[in-house]
Amino acid sequence: MMTLVEWQSCWLDHLRGERGLAELTLKSYQRLILLDITYLADQGVSKPQQLTTALLERCLVNWRREGLGERSIALKLSAWRTFCDFLLHSGALQDNPALNVKAPKIPKRLPKNLDVDSISHLLDLPKSDELAIRDAAIMELLYSSGLRLAELVSLDRDSIDLRIGQLRVVGKGSKTRIVPVGRHAIGAIKEWLKVRANWLGAKPELALFISKRLSRISPRTVQQRLNFWGQQQGIIGDLHPHKLRHSFASHMLEASGDLRAVQELLGHANLSTTQIYTHLDFKRLAEVYDSAHPRANRTVKK
């Protein structure tokens, strides 16, 4: 009867041949469960038929003792579920014991954002360079209206009404939403439209933002240009479109506290998605608490 080590070798061959996984991925799968197989062998468990949910839960406890974080534990558990699923379909198991092991809840990482001063410095671009004028309009609009990259590049000239400061955005699932545009973004777009008209001449083009090739700008170009300006303006860390979206959401929520409104502006289908931005610092929370709660004032004024 084959051992778990032998079955693991067959599993990796299956992943390599049937699913065409890369060697680095296969090595990762191998590494994720090999130490556990060794650990189980020391406990007298070497055959697939001996695997139980309780044993794998013991492995999970062992992972925690080793200091593994939630993400690493979730990866190991995922590897075990895939391995046991292979054993099940190969007839070596009657059921998948790993499915009943509860995965740890992975905390959502707070999005990184820029403070208001960094935003102001970033958007202070030279007015004499046509590419800088276009890029300033792009960044102003990303920050002004909290757009996704795909939403930005898909904008047409008639998507924006500069007179009333309003933008029609087609988001995920082809859902359309109307969002306001700030005066700084409106000013930057007006400057860009002059350059755009000069570039295009008589050539018709629907896209609001175009490249030097006179066609709709690509997501990759936007990413490259933002990264360029991030370095030029001395912004710490990579500058990408989502960082401006995160900054928009954070600043709006900190100033207004209106989670529902921010949800609508971002185009989130679920409020839980927006809640990741509720990372007001404790000092601010304490100030709100002290000013709002009738029995909260923790400082005695003399």
> Could you tell me if 87 and 125 lie in one domain?
no
Report in angstroms the alpha-carbon separations of 185 from 25, 161, 180: 45, 12, 10
Q: Do 59 and 184 belong to one domain?
A: no
Based on DSSP, count helices (H) and strands (E) in the chain, helices before strands: 13, 3
Query: What pLDDT tens digit does each residue of the chain (302 aa) get?
Result: 789 999 999 999 888 887 777 788 888 888 888 888 988 888 899 999 999 999 999 888 888 888 888 888 888 898 999 999 999 999 999 999 999 888 777 666 655 678 888 888 889 998 889 999 999 999 999 988 888 899 999 999 999 999 988 889 888 778 888 888 888 999 999 999 999 999 999 899 999 999 999 999 999 999 999 989 988 888 877 788 888 888 888 777 766 666 676 677 777 656 555 555 555 444 455 565 566 656 555 454 44
pLDDT, residue 70, reads 83
**Cα 290 to Cα 283: distance, rounded to the nearest angstrom:** 10
Residue 50 lies in a domain: yes
Inside any domain, residue 300: no
Residues 6+ apart with CB under 8 A from 235: 114, 118, 121, 122, 229
Distance, CA of 197 to CA of 214 (rounded, Å): 10
Does residue 258 lie in a domain region?
yes
Is 242 labeled as catalytic in the residue annotation? Answer: yes
Residues 138 and 278 in one domain: yes
Same domain, 169 and 220: yes
Catalytic position from the list 172, 175, 194, 220: 172
Query: What is the residue range of 76's domain?
Result: 4-100
Evaluate whether residue 297 is within a structural domain.
no
Residue 251 in any domain: the answer is yes
Q: Do the beta carbons of residue 147 and residue 220 sit within 8 Å? A: no
* Domain end position, chosen among 56, 75, 100: 100
Is 39 a known active-site residue?
A: no
- Together in a domain, 146 and 249: yes
**Cα separation, 176 vs 169, whole angstroms:** 6
Question: Integer distance in angstroms from the first to the last C-alpha of the chain?
Answer: 82
Please tell me whether residues 34 and 155 are part of one structural domain. Answer: no
Catalytic residue among 134, 225, 243, 245: 245
Q: Which CATH number is 229's domain given?
A: 1.10.443.10
Q: Which residues of 226-239 are buried (b: 16+ CB within 10 A; e: fewer)?
A: beebbeeeebeeeb
Question: Residue 233 has what pLDDT?
Answer: 87
Give the model's pLDDT for residue 239: 85
User: Both 33 and 164 in a single domain?
Assistant: no
The reply to whether 149 and 11 lie within a common domain is no
Pairing of strands 166-170, 176-180: antiparallel
User: What CA–CA distances, in Å, run from 147 to 55, 70, 172?
Assistant: 48, 31, 11
In a domain, 14, yes or no: yes
The residues near 171 (Cβ < 8 Å, ≥ 6 apart) are 148, 151, 177, 267
Q: Say whether 148 is catalytic.
A: yes
The answer to the question of residue 295 being in a domain is no
Candidates 1, 48, 7, 51; CA nearest to 30 is 7
Total domains in the chain come to: 2
Give residue 277's pLDDT.
58
Q: Is residue 109 part of a domain?
A: no
Residue 46: CA count within 13 A, CB half-sphere = 8
- On whether the CB atoms of residues 139 and 123 are closer than 8 A, the answer is yes
| Structural contact between residues 56 and 50, judged by C-beta atoms closer than 8 angstroms | no
The pLDDT of residue 39:
86
* Residue of 76, 134, 148, 225 marked catalytic: 148
The whole-number pLDDT of residue 282 equals 44
Q: Do 61 and 132 have their domain in common?
A: no
Q: Indicate which residue of 134, 225, 243, 268 is catalytic.
A: 268
Examine the domain organization and report whether 14 and 74 are in the same domain. Answer: yes
Q: Indicate if 254 and 165 belong to the same structural domain.
A: yes
**E runs forming strands in 181-225:** none
Is residue 76 part of the annotated active site? The answer reads no
Query: For residue 17, what is the domain's CATH number?
Result: 1.10.150.130
Shared-domain flag, residues 146 and 33: no
CA 191 to chain centre: 31
Q: Which of 14, 177, 240, 242 is catalytic?
A: 242
pLDDT score for 255 = 66
